[in-house]
Amino acid sequence: MKFTIMVNEGPYQHQSADSALQFARAVLAQGHEIFRIFFYHDGVNNGTRLSVPPADDRLIQKEWSELAKEHDLDLVICIAAAQRRGIMDEDEAKRQGLDANNIIEGFRISGLGQLIEGGIEADRTVVFGD
């Protein structure tokens, strides 16, 4: 089975990001495919490389990045939601006249069309968060 996963909550505000990560791991462990993981609303905060949680907490952004690298996953951050929350890749930062970017390896920024395509291409779309 092929899945698209949508994550609508940030990594430290809600259980949704953790649940989505665990779901993605379970899907892959069972031999299923993940077409795309789309981060929307506060979920875009899963893609920042500048988050520094306490030493005894997990760094969920790094966990997403490592999972993407290990399984060649497509992690897409919604551009409109990212801009509102200050999440920029190198190209978008330049386009906006900013001198820095903060996206973690393995993520990319794109539009809602990527979510629509994911829904079309996947057998199931699973949404985590409101």
What distance in Å separates the CA atoms of residue 128 and residue 130, rounded to the nearest whole number?
7
Q: Has 78 been annotated as catalytic? A: yes
Active-site residue, selected from the candidate residues 21, 44, 76, 78: 78
Q: In this structure, what token pair is assigned to residue 90?
A: 């190198």
The DSSP line for the chain is -EEEEEE-S-TTT-THHHHHHHHHHHHHHTT-EEEEEEE-GGGGGGGBS-----TTS--HHHHHHHHHHHHT--EEEEHHHHHHHT---HHHHHHTT-S---BPTTEEEE-THHHHHHHHHSSEEEEE--
- The residues that are catalytic are 78
